[in-house]
Copies of this chain bind each other. A is one copy, B any other.
Amino acid sequence: MVTEWKHSTVVAGVPWKNPVGTASGTFNLEACGRFFDVSEMGAISTKGVSPVPWDGNPTPRTVESPSGMVNAVGLQNPGVDHYLVDELPKLKALGALVVTNVAGHSDDDYAQVVEKLADSSADMLEINVSCPNVSHGGLSVGSDPLVLGHLIERLRPMTDKPMVVKLTPNVTDIVPIARAAVDAGADALSLINTLVGMSIDIETGKPFLGNVTGGVSGPAIKPIAVAMVWKTRQALPDIPIIGIGGIMSAEDALEHLYAGANAVEVGAAALVDPLAPLRIAHDLDILLDSRPQLAEKLRKGQTWR
């Protein structure tokens, strides 16, 4: 049985069969595809791809934190060329809607990846300017409106694919950053990426992670994520937003949708239950039955205000 989804959404003109996607870095086809039919998801956002393979950070790469985890994977990935012949065609062959997450250490890195993806079968691109775990690019780009605007202006003309810009919560005010991305041509925003955090081993007095700091994700960050989605939505009434952060249940997804998101992505929850993204999609499909106004807005690509 393939699910007959009752409640769909639209993100930047792209119809999603349901409002729930996987979040980048927490979905990998080889691992997750064993647990569910990837075509069932609203969307699959894949691990950040860089122009060349990256080795990531030293281990240990994660440490538990209260109702969350701190990770410092550092965008280990086999590079865009491998992605184009492996993960992407496989996902498309399975019928998935693919959001390709793009990583870089420099503007040129991002441009190289986007160029290679321009004619690919990816459905949307998600420009990750918000990874706290790489020393150049990532967070540093995503926290300066001018730098970010410049990057997106450069990338935007390189492809016809809808371009989502993924924002960091590690900023004084997310609104000018969001606005800069939109003014430069972003078709949608996704937020939030992880919050900079760390943990210290009290037996050694030394940082636990190989990379010293990492990014906090999971339920702990939910209230912060919801506030950022809300604030961005209040400032930018029309831009499509994918809400991310601490979504463990359909109820959590609803909080993001009521905050103004058009769709959501599920991250850490998928790490502790491979089926979490699909389960949340199913549960949400039921919760939306009793919320016809919200469901109607989502279906039309509008948002809750």
Q: Does A271 contact B (CB under 8 A)?
A: no
What does the 1/0 interface line of A212-235 toward B look like (CB < 8 Å)? Answer: 110010111111101100110000
Q: Does A70 contact B (CB under 8 A)?
A: yes
In contact, A199 and B226 (Cβ under 8 angstroms): yes
Q: Does A157 contact B (CB under 8 A)?
A: no
Q: Kindly report which residue of chain B lies nearest to residue A132, judged by CB atoms.
A: B227
In contact, A65 and B223 (Cβ under 8 angstroms): yes
Neighbouring B residues of A172 by C-beta, 8 Å: 143, 170-172
- Minimum distance in angstroms from A253 CB to a CB of chain B: 9
Q: Does A89 contact B (CB under 8 A)?
A: no
In contact, A223 and B198 (Cβ under 8 angstroms): yes
Copy tally for this chain in the complex stands at 2
Bound Cα distance A157, B273 (Å): 57
Q: Does A68 contact B (CB under 8 A)?
A: yes
Q: A224's contact among B195, B200, B218, B246, by CB below 8 Å, is which?
A: B195
Q: Pick from A202, A231, A259, A304 the residue with the most CB of B within 10 Å.
A: A202
Question: Given A66-B246, A172-B171, A172-B172, are A259 and B200 also a contact pair (CB < 8 Å)?
Answer: yes
In contact, B196 and A227 (Cβ under 8 angstroms): yes
Q: Does A255 contact B (CB under 8 A)?
A: yes
Q: A220's contact among B213, B221, B251, by CB below 8 Å, is which?
A: B221
Neighbouring B residues of A213 by C-beta, 8 Å: 227, 230-231
In contact, A67 and B67 (Cβ under 8 angstroms): yes
In contact, B220 and A200 (Cβ under 8 angstroms): no
Q: Does A197 contact B (CB under 8 A)?
A: yes
In contact, A226 and B200 (Cβ under 8 angstroms): yes
Q: Pick from A173, A205, A259 the residue with the most CB of B within 10 Å.
A: A205
Can you sample 6 A-B contacts with CB below 8 Å? A66-B219, A67-B219, A143-B172, A197-B224, A205-B258, A205-B304
- Given A206-B258, A213-B227, A216-B223; 4 other pairs, CB 8 A cutoff: A66-B222, A70-B223, A143-B173, A198-B259
